[in-house]
């Protein structure tokens, strides 16, 4: 549904103007969709609810009415949405969230010299379990982890970090 909505929002000046109120550095689509869902979850009654599996009574409605209802909801709740867009932040599950793991796990492995067992508790759907599959840079030209030319580094990681198991 979000892909369908995003494609339509991209062609709609009124919704783009609302979305433009997001704070700097925020992922605008995530923040807009989050703000709309937040208002719906807080009890705003609207036909748009029927397009969300977690809110629909029965089977969620089809896409053909999703965008018109989304737009109507946004226009009716414009001021509240703008306030949310200007004051709230979105935490996304991106690679940069793992940036603290690489040096931490290097330190731990150096101390214990044993394979690491990783268990993730949280809402990132296991993305943080793949910390060793990302490339890291800490403000210099040096890269750590997986890179385009990562054969040597990958072999080193396999040698250094024998991941015993990954669970989420």
The pLDDT tens digits of the residues spanning 53-105 come to 888 888 888 888 999 999 999 999 999 999 999 999 887 665 667 777 888 88
Neighbours of 26 (CB within 10 A): 17
Average pLDDT over residues 32-53: 92
Structure confidence at residue 70 (pLDDT): 96
Residue with tokens 């629909």: 56
From the number of C-beta atoms within 10 Å of its C-beta (0-12, 13-18, 19+), residue 51 rates as buried
Structure confidence at residue 127 (pLDDT): 67
Do 57 and 124 share a domain, yes or no?
A: no
- Can you give the residue range of the structural domain that contains 122? 95-167
Average pLDDT, the chain: 80
Last residue of a domain, one of 44, 67, 87: 87
Q: Which residues contact 110 (CB under 8 A, 6 or more apart)?
A: none
Q: What are phi and psi of 108, to 5 degrees?
A: -60, -45
User: Which of 74, 80, 81, 86 has the alpha carbon at shortest distance from 22?
Assistant: 86
Do 10 and 64 share a domain, yes or no?
A: yes
Do 28 and 76 share a domain, yes or no?
A: yes
pLDDT band of 36, cuts 50, 70, 90 = very high
Do 81 and 99 share a domain, yes or no?
A: no
């Amino acid at each position: 549904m979000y892909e369908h909505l995003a494609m339509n929002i991209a062609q709609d000046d009124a919704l783009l103007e609302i979305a433009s109120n997001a704070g700097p550095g925020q992922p605008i689509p995530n923040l807009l969709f989050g703000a709309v869902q937040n208002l719906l979850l807080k009890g705003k009654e609207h036909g748009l609810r029927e397009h969300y599996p977690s809110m629909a009574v029965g089977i969620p409605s089809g896409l053909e009415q999703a965008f018109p209802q989304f737009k109507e909801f946004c226009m009716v709740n414009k001021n509240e949405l703008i306030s949310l867009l200007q004051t709230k932040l979105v935490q996304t599950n991106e690679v940069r969230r793992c940036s603290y793991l690489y040096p931490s796990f290097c330190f731990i492995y150096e101390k214990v010299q044993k394979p690491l067992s990783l268990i993730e508790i949280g809402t990132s759907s296991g993305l943080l379990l793949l910390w060793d599959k990302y490339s890291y840079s800490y403000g210099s030209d040096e890269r750590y982890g997986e890179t385009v030319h990562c054969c040597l580094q990958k072999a080193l990681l396999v040698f250094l970090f024998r991941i015993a198991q990954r669970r989420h």
